[in-house]
Chains A and B, each alone.
Chain A
Amino acid sequence: MADGMINARIFEDLQTKIDEDADVRDQIKVILQTLERQGRNAQSILSRAHSTPAAHLQPVIASAESAIKDEVESINNLAGIASNSPYYKYNNLWTRDVQNVVFAILLCGWLGGMAMPNKPAEPGKLLTIEEVGEILNVPVNLKDRDAFHLTIEEYLQSLITLIEELARLAVNSVTLGDYARPLQISQFVKDLHAGFQILNLKNDSLRRRSDSIKYNVKKIEDIVYDLSLRNLVPKST
């Protein structure tokens, strides 16, 4: 046979590489199955915020924090496996689920949960990427070494989801008789929108999604307008 042309080891080594990569992907997918389930659980708890008056929100927050704690555990399992390989080799497998966790944390924080040692919990606050990283127990925007971490893009994508969620919450707050919260949401979303406008985004999914922020801004403005038209805006003292 023509074994002089091809060193048999070449294709053996290639096959080994392919099989090893497949193993890593399988291990990651197992963890992601759990994370996805936990994500749905956290989402369903947090969605109760749309039908719960702000004053009675504490049990929902507590429940959500517990669900998020489970997610953090899965994230750490994921980090353990993922950090054995180059970060950008497999990150497209888990990025959607990671964004869901970050969104849950951001929303819970905005509702008044996720108190941290150096930052008390209060409604309407935005958790920074560093704070989210602390909660998840992973590095953020890692540059000097190759390990699992939270990226800026993932944080920004989750912010956009938060904006969409808050637009919906503004509508439902009015239904619950809470006329102050839409104002709070309006200012918050406008402030975020201003931030997104200074980013130089290229033609990717982040750019497309951030284009939709202005529609949410308008939607919330319309609610505030509806309220002020009917003299329902709470007067500040």
Chain B
Amino acid sequence: MTGIKRHHDGAKKENEVKASPFMPMFEQFRDELDQHHDRRERIIKASRDITAASKKIIFSLQRVRTLKAEIPEKIAKETRDRAEAMQKQFVAIVPDLEGINAWRYQRQISGGIQEYMEAISFEHYLRTQTLITLEEASKLLPDTIDLTGDDYVLGIFDLVGELMRFAITTIATTGALPGSTSEPGGRDVLIDLRSLRTSFQALDTTSCGGTGLGKDVEKKMEVMKTCVEKVETAVYGLIIRGRERPKGWVPDLADDRGAPVESY
């Protein structure tokens, strides 16, 4: 406000504009909303960091060439270090996700959790050639952070993509699918991928409607089918043409590569 108004005799005029009687109420609202937005921001940042770290772990794990064996120490050390750093990030946002806020900020933390799911389920598969359960995955998160069924499922969808890459890279570099059907009860990656595909197709998400699982599942189902088919095509190529080609030849994946590069 500009200067003080005065009457003709110099006396101060009453300040005619009274403050709104609702200010104390709105000040309280402001404080509450500020806290909420700050929390939200912190969680979004953490989710981004967790996503980035998980992607790096997955990248490292893609260098593994064995199945159903311990991860080679060099790679395991890298992933261990990254996983520890990630745990710290999770622990840091535990206070923000306490009690009623766990579901309040679900959408903000969901991305990070799904990426994390992808990483730990990939690592679990490489060591055990099985699908990690929701309970086992939950244990790898701090106690108070919830792993929802939605995030678990969506994370596993993404796992299929990584398994596809793992399968194709292994075919390209070793001339064979990871895993083996030679022993009784043995399975290769393609058999496992097909199991996942069947299980997912059997999941009835029609009741989810437009929320959470419902809208993402359709898209991811398409991607998953494509992944499985890529591996099937690669195996076919291996069998039909692999015998005539030197090791290192990459099967024809028409949709996303140029001409195959021969290596000797």
**Interface residues in chain A, defined as those with a beta carbon under 8 Å from any beta carbon in chain B:** 1-7, 9-11, 13-15, 17-19, 21-22, 25, 86-89, 126, 128-129, 141-146, 152-153, 156, 190-192, 194-196, 198-202
Q: How far is the CB of B131 from chain A (nearest CB, A)?
A: 5
By a CB distance below 8 angstroms, the chain B residues around A199 are: 26, 29-30, 33
Q: Are B20 and A152 in contact (CB under 8 A)?
A: no
Contact among B103, B195, B203 with A14 in the assembled complex (CB-CB below 8 Å): B203
Within 8 A of A (CB), among B20-34: 20-23, 25-27, 29-30, 32-34
Contact residues on B (Cβ < 8 Å of other chain), bracket: 35 or more
Q: Does B134 contact A (CB under 8 A)?
A: yes
| Interface majority SS (helix, strand, loop, mixed), chain B | helix
With contacts A2-B192, A143-B100, A199-B26 taken as known, whether A152 is within 8 angstroms of B32 at the C-beta atoms is yes
Q: Are A7 and B130 in contact (CB under 8 A)?
A: yes
Q: How far is the CB of B134 from chain A (nearest CB, A)?
A: 7
Contact among B133, B192, B213 with A7 in the assembled complex (CB-CB below 8 Å): B133
- Bits for B118-133, please: 1 = Cβ < 8 Å to A, else 0: 0000000000011101
| Interface majority SS (helix, strand, loop, mixed), chain A | helix
Q: Are A191 and B20 in contact (CB under 8 A)?
A: yes
Q: Are A146 and B22 in contact (CB under 8 A)?
A: no
Among B22, B191, B195, chain A packs the most CB atoms within 10 A around the CB of B22
With contacts A191-B20, A194-B20, A201-B33 taken as known, whether A13 is within 8 angstroms of B134 at the C-beta atoms is yes
Q: Does B185 contact A (CB under 8 A)?
A: yes
Q: Does B63 contact A (CB under 8 A)?
A: no
Q: Does B208 contact A (CB under 8 A)?
A: yes
Contact among A6, A89, A129, A152 with B130 in the assembled complex (CB-CB below 8 Å): A6
**Could you list 17 A-B pairs, sorted by A, with CB under 8 Å?**
A4-B129, A5-B130, A5-B187, A5-B195, A7-B133, A11-B203, A14-B152, A14-B153, A18-B149, A18-B213, A21-B207, A21-B208, A88-B101, A89-B106, A194-B26, A195-B22, A195-B26
Q: Are A19 and B207 in contact (CB under 8 A)?
A: yes
Q: Are B20 and A195 in contact (CB under 8 A)?
A: yes
By a CB distance below 8 angstroms, the chain B residues around A202 are: 37
With contacts A2-B191, A88-B106, A152-B32 taken as known, whether A18 is within 8 angstroms of B99 at the C-beta atoms is no
Q: Are B102 and A86 in contact (CB under 8 A)?
A: yes
With contacts A126-B22, A198-B27 taken as known, whether A2 is within 8 angstroms of B195 at the C-beta atoms is yes
Q: How far is the CB of B109 from chain A (nearest CB, A)?
A: 12
By a CB distance below 8 angstroms, the chain B residues around A146 are: 99-100, 103
Q: Are B20 and A18 in contact (CB under 8 A)?
A: no
Q: How far is the CB of B190 from chain A (nearest CB, A)?
A: 10
Within 8 A of A (CB), among B192-245: 192, 194-196, 199, 202-205, 207-209, 213
Q: How far is the CB of B247 from chain A (nearest CB, A)?
A: 28
Q: How far is the CB of A166 from chain B (nearest CB, A)?
A: 14
**With A and B bound together, what is the CA distance between A194 and B199 in angstroms?**
57
By a CB distance below 8 angstroms, the chain B residues around A7 are: 130-131, 133
Q: Does B104 contact A (CB under 8 A)?
A: yes
- Bits for B98-119, please: 1 = Cβ < 8 Å to A, else 0: 0111111010000000000000
By a CB distance below 8 angstroms, the chain A residues around B32 are: 141, 152
| Least CB separation from A156: chain B residue | B29
Within 8 A of A (CB), among B55-99: 99
Shortest 5 CB-CB contacts between residues of A and residues of B: A22-B207, A195-B26, A191-B20, A88-B103, A86-B103
Q: Are A88 and B100 in contact (CB under 8 A)?
A: yes
**With A and B bound together, what is the CA distance between A11 and B202 in angstroms?**
9
**With A and B bound together, what is the CA distance between A1 and B196 in angstroms?**
12
With contacts A192-B22, A195-B23 taken as known, whether A14 is within 8 angstroms of B187 at the C-beta atoms is no
- Bits for B8-29, please: 1 = Cβ < 8 Å to A, else 0: 0000000000011111011101
| Least CB separation from A22: chain B residue | B207
By a CB distance below 8 angstroms, the chain A residues around B199 are: 6, 10-11
